[in-house]
């Protein structure tokens, strides 16, 4: 028995002079849900299509259950793919749609109907077995497409932006359902998404991709709390930025951001030296704002109540814009703060992340 259900070894895919996938390697363990996360054009969908067999790699290896899959057509691989466009057959009812793949494999009618019914029960669509796709909502169609893939009992389930066509509320509900189904069946799953929240909610591990390469492959919490590169830090989650000049380098650098604000970044994601002009990132949820008390003075630009949280957009004396995200109970009066109100902001000493060089054109602070 193979150690991994999917293994990619130095996988590369070129389209003419363009490199879509640039020498990536990864392994997906049995029963794991791995998310390929990244912006449009990063190579995540091409990688999925290579695993599915819809694209052939320029070089490298694709192993499924320990067997070389390069050159094997999609229908002969023990994988199944669910796309954003569910592609249900409009002239067939739900049960017939789910059973279609079994029919193509010459499974006896009684068995395929029983297996299709079982798959519909898994995705909680059994009461809709006699309906046509046009009579279903988007979320219901997504469940049927998932049942159609699972009924074939694939070794690996591939999901290409499967929730992308749903509205936000339904998308969040289906994230919970999708995770439930995947865990209940225990099928090894690879999902492609550009939605970081979706990846964080679903995946056991996330491969963050950019320009055809994997920037970081880790558990969701590690990717968020300990990003390996500036790209990961900026792509996963939100950041406010402060620019400054490195006063002292080494393992515990000090950065002068001007107006008396000096920081000792808790995480350094680039090589730096004294005198370098650098960019610091801060997560909004790591910053706290108060109408009174200690901290760095700031001026409110806007406040927004977001259910149980309040977001405060403010400006520091350096001119840097800071976003604060905190519970409404931290300072209840803050949500009523008008434009121009003076507040104080604070963060833990290790919260700032040194991302790397500041963008060209950013004015350096006086060290």
Domain regions of the chain by residue span = 4-227, 234-357
Dump pLDDT digits (tens) for 197-213: 999 999 999 999 999 99
Looking at the chain, the whole-number percentage of residues with pLDDT higher than 70 is 97
3-state secondary structure of 285: helix
Whether the per-residue pLDDT at 342 is higher than 50: the answer is yes
The topology under which CATH files domain 234-357 is OB fold (Dihydrolipoamide Acetyltransferase, E2P) (2.40.50)
Radius of gyration of the chain (CA): 25
Q: Which residues pair with 246 in a beta bridge?
A: 255
Buried b (16+ CB within 10 A) or exposed e, 24-47: bebbbebebbbbbbbeeebbbbbb
3-state secondary structure of 89: coil
- Of residues 112 and 85, which shows the higher confidence score? 112
3-state secondary structure of 99: helix
pLDDT score, position 178: 86
pLDDT score, position 367: 43
Contacts of 159 (CB under 8 A, 6+ apart): 81, 82, 178, 189, 190, 191, 192
How far is 353 from 225, CA to CA, in rounded Å?
Answer: 10
How far is 199 from 36, CA to CA, in rounded Å?
Answer: 8
CATH number of 4-227: 3.40.50.300
- Residue 314 has φ and ψ, to the nearest 5°, of -140, 170
- Nearest CA to 157 out of 4, 249, 51, 237 is that of 51
Mean pLDDT of the chain: 90
3-state secondary structure of 161: coil
How far is 291 from 344, CA to CA, in rounded Å?
Answer: 6
Per-residue CA distances from 324 to 45, 58, 289, 301 (Å): 34, 46, 7, 11
Dump pLDDT digits (tens) for 105-164: 898 999 999 999 999 998 889 999 999 999 998 888 888 988 998 888 889 999 998 877
H helices within the chain, ranges in order?
44-52, 94-104, 109-122, 138-150, 168-185, 196-202, 220-225, 230-235
- Of residues 215 and 137, which shows the higher confidence score? 215
Mean pLDDT in residue range 53-61: 95
> What band does 1 get if pLDDT is binned at 50, 70 and 90?
low
CB 133 within 8 A of CB 97: yes
pLDDT score, position 96: 92
Mean pLDDT in residue range 277-297: 93
How far is 6 from 188, CA to CA, in rounded Å?
Answer: 9
CB 11 within 8 A of CB 24: yes
pLDDT score, position 364: 53
pLDDT score, position 82: 85
3-state secondary structure of 59: strand
pLDDT score, position 139: 84
Dump pLDDT digits (tens) for 89-101: 999 999 999 999 8
Rounded to the nearest 10°, the torsion over CA 65, 70, 157, 77 is: -80
CA 365 to chain centre: 34
């Amino acid at each position: 028995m193979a150690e991994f259900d999917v293994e990619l070894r130095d996988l590369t895919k070129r389209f003419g002079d363009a490199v879509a996938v640039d020498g990536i390697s990864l392994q997906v363990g049995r029963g794991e849900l791995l998310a390929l996360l990244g912006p449009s054009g990063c190579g995540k969908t091409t990688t999925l299509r290579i695993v599915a067999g819809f694209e052939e790699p320029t070089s490298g290896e694709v192993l499924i259950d320990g067997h070389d899959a390069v050159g094997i057509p999609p229908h002969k691989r023990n994988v199944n793919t669910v796309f954003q466009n569910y592609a249900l057959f409009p002239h067939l009812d739900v049960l017939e749609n789910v059973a279609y793949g079994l029919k193509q494999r010459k499974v006896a009618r009684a068995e395929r109907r029983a297996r299709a019914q079982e798959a519909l029960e898994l995705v909680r669509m059994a009461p809709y077995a006699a309906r046509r796709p046009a009579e279903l909502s988007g979320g219901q169609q997504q469940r049927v497409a998932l049942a159609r893939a699972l009924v074939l009992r694939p070794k690996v389930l591939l999901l290409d932006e499967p929730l992308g066509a749903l509205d936000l509320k339904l998308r969040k509900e289906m994230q919970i359902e999708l995770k439930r189904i995947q865990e209940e069946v225990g099928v090894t799953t690879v999902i492609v998404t550009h939605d970081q929240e979706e990846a964080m909610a679903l995946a056991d591990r996330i491969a963050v991709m950019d320009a055809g390469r994997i920037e970081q492959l880790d558990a969701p919490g590690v990717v968020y709390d300990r990003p390996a590169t500036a790209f990961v830090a900026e792509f996963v989650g939100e950041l406010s930025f402060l620019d400054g000049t490195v006063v002292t380098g080494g393992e515990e650098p000090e950065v002068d951001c001007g107006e008396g604000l000096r920081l000792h970044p808790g995480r350094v994601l680039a090589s730096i030296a004294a005198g370098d002009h650098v960019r610091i990132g801060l997560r909004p949820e790591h910053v706290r704002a108060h109408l009174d008390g200690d901290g760095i003075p700031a001026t409110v630009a806007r406040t927004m109540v977001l259910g149980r949280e309040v977001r405060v957009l403010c400006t520091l004396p350096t001119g840097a814009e800071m976003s604060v995200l905190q519970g409404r109970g931290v300072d209840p009066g803050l949500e009523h703060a008008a434009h121009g109100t003076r507040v104080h902001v604070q963060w833990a000493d290790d919260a700032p992340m040194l991302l790397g060089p500041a963008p060209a054109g950013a004015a350096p602070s006086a060290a």
